[in-house]
Amino acid sequence: MSLAIFFSETRSFDFLVLFLVAASFFLELLLARRGEAGKQAPLFKRLFLISTAFVVSYYFFLTYLQFWAWENGGPLTRFFLPPHTGWWFLFDYWFIRFLLGYAISFLIALVFVFSARKLNRRFGGRFFEAQEPWLGGLGLFLSGQPGWIFYLSLIFAIQLIRTGFGYLKREKTKRFSFRYLWLPTAMFVIILRVLGVIG
C-alpha cells in the first residue's frame, strides 16, 4: 500500500477537518463572548479561504506521495509516470479519488454564500447575521461530498422542527438564527463520515 493511499484511507484527513471545524466553532464562541460580533464576517471569510487552501494543499501532498510511491515502487510502477504517461495521469488520479468531492462541495458552498449574502442584502439583513453565510459555506464545504447533502438536510430539519414548535406554542414567528448551529451540524456530519455512516 502506498503512503498516499494510507493517508487517504485512514480517515486522518477527516480528523483534521473535524479539528478545523471545531476550532472555528470555538473561535466563534470566543468572539461572541467578547462582544466582537462585527469582526466575525471578514474573519470567517478568511477561514473559508484558508480551509480551501488546506484541502488543496492536502491534495498536492497526496499527489506527491503517490509520485514518490510510483517512482520508488519498481520498474512496473514507473510506467505510471512520465515519460510513459503524461503528468495529467498523476494529478488526475488523486483528483478523482480525493479532490473531486471537495470541488463539488466547494461549488455548492460558493452558491450558498453568494446567494445568502445577496438575499440578505436585498432584504436588509433579515435572514442571516453578517457571518452566517460564511459559517454555512464553511460547513457545506468541509462536509464534503455527499456530506453537504446531509448537512443541508439537517439544517432544514432543524428549521422545520423549530418552526413547528413555534407554531404549537403560538409564538409570533421571529427569525431563528443558525449562528451557533452551522458548525456543530458540520461536525456531526463529519463524525458520521468518520464512522462510515455516509460516504
pLDDT digits (tens, 9 = 90+) for 3-54: 555 555 556 778 888 888 888 888 888 877 777 655 677 888 888 999 999 9
**What is the overall mean pLDDT for the chain?**
83
State residue 98's pLDDT score.
80
Q: What mean pLDDT is predicted for residues 94-114?
A: 90
pTM score, whole prediction: 0.83
The DSSP secondary-structure symbol of 99 reads: I
pLDDT at 82 over 60: yes
- Give me the long-range contacts of 8-14 (CB less than 8 A, separation at least 24): 8/62, 8/94, 8/97, 8/98, 11/194, 13/58, 14/190, 14/193, 14/194
Please compute, for residue 55, the number of CA atoms within 13 A of its CA located in the half-sphere on the CB side.
25
**C-beta separation of 138 from 47 below 8 A:** yes
Phi-psi category of residue 112: left, alpha or beta, with phi > 0 → left and psi -120 to 50 → alpha? alpha
pLDDT for 173 equals: 58
Task: Give the pLDDT confidence score for residue 103 in this predicted structure.
Answer: 92
Instruction: Calculate mean pLDDT across residues 82-97.
Output: 79
